[in-house]
Structure 1
Amino acid sequence: MTAPAVAPEHQVEYDRFWRQHVTIAGQLIDELVARELYDFRRILTETRSVYRALTGVERPDEQPEVILAHAGRIAALVRAGHLRAHAAHVADDDPDAAALRATLHEIAGRWEAQAPPEPRPTVGAPPVWLAAAWYGTDHPDHEVEFRQIWRDYLVGRGGRLDQDKVAQVLHAYSTVIRSVSLVYDDLTASAISKPNTLAHHVIDAAEVQYAGMYADFLCDEANHLDEGPVRAALIALAEQWYPGAWNDHQQGLQVIRALDRQRRNKPQDAAAAAA
């Protein structure tokens, strides 16, 4: 007995969700499809700006973990570059110039060595329509944009929209916005997750998170040094990157110490209770 055919994923999603948004009386309507894809393009446009600024990735359909690995690598290398640039601007007449430069270069070298390796892409060549949508010129009129970017791909025989092709593109739309939401959430420490957020808001929020993270790393480096000009310079640089970084770091250490004391006291408390 032949098993029943399983509908493709894009078709299942279309029947479950998209059909009600792009058809009237079961008929695909160009205007409705154009409006949905216009919203898709707006998300792609903003995502492209975010990904270029923070990850260097040029594919909205790449896996979130790959995109985030690129972002982590770039953040580490950029911050290491900031340290090396700061070292280059230490005044020659500063009596501690040599020690400070050596420390900054040493830290920068560690950050560069610890940067995630550049991940391999998981997607092949993009579909023609995706390349056109990713790089195409924005237009304020959704109907004009539809004709310029989408219609040639989506129209089938007889000059009418091909339902299966429309379903494929709308499925890609759903997949991309889920991926972008995960990426934004991670980049901004859950401050932003909506995929239609304007790019500059996402970039600014991500930069704040990375600044805080690497300022904390710098405070940790300072915490392992003896009191002196080099330690003070590291703390000052951390504060420049993220105001309040040193105080936040010290509070974090207090919490860690308190938790460690609780952990070490548990066996003693249990033994006392047993006695």
Structure 2
Amino acid sequence: MSATPVLALRGVSKRFGAVQALTDVDLEIHAGEVVALLGDNGAGKSTLVKTISGVHPIDEGAIEWEGRPVRVARPNDAQELGIATVYQDLALCDNLDVVANLFLGTELRRASVLDEIAMEKRAKELLDTLSIRIPSVRIPVASLSGGQRQVVAIARALIGAPKVVILDEPTAALGVEQTAQVLDLVERLRENGHGVILITHNMADVRAVADRAAILRLGRNNGVFSVKDTSHEEIIAAITGATDNAVTRRQARTATKEDAK
């Protein structure tokens, strides 16, 4: 892993009128790592993602890209740097096939005519590189499963060859097999050298694929943890801001029952 993060936030703050959404937030994302961004509802995760993706320009602090300060004032600024965001709604067009969805807005043309052959070839190459298995690149997206739709949305974000990919709750409402398919793709992104920000409430997903967990609480940093070296209870405590929570109480009850045997 490079010593210089591909993306870094330094003391970032954001307010909306009288509401202070983010206060002095730091975050680093390196190439080839998955960082889980965790926090309770209202912790500031969505606002932070939108500052990175250019939807909400920051009020204070700095955003650095490969070690140099940059200005991210609009979504195009983020895209040009190499930041891609896949939101929960996926924004796929059900009536279009996979190829059309992958290249929507970035269609390949030859002499002002859509180059369907080139787009289909590129689509197959991209899906093969990511080990994404779907019946055909020419079937309508409406006929795909939830997991397949999610991986198509992620693949579309990679068309522009970004260096950082932000995934907003990518396994929400997915079944076990579909979740595994999406997490496999997250691992593939890491193997291919992408920096990944994974926003999730699912601790099983964090344990499965994340290298570090960055915790937000009430719009502020509340710890960055190595996932493999940190207990589930420690991460939950950082999220909730208390060492006494449902997880620790359940663990204590279990330990008491074991001791009583």
TM-score by length of 2: 0.24
Comparing both structures, which one devotes a greater share of its residues to strand? 2
TM-score by length of 1: 0.23
Q: Which has the higher contact order (CA 8 A, sep 6+)?
A: 2
Comparing both structures, which one devotes a greater share of its residues to helix? 1
Q: Which has the larger radius of gyration?
A: 1
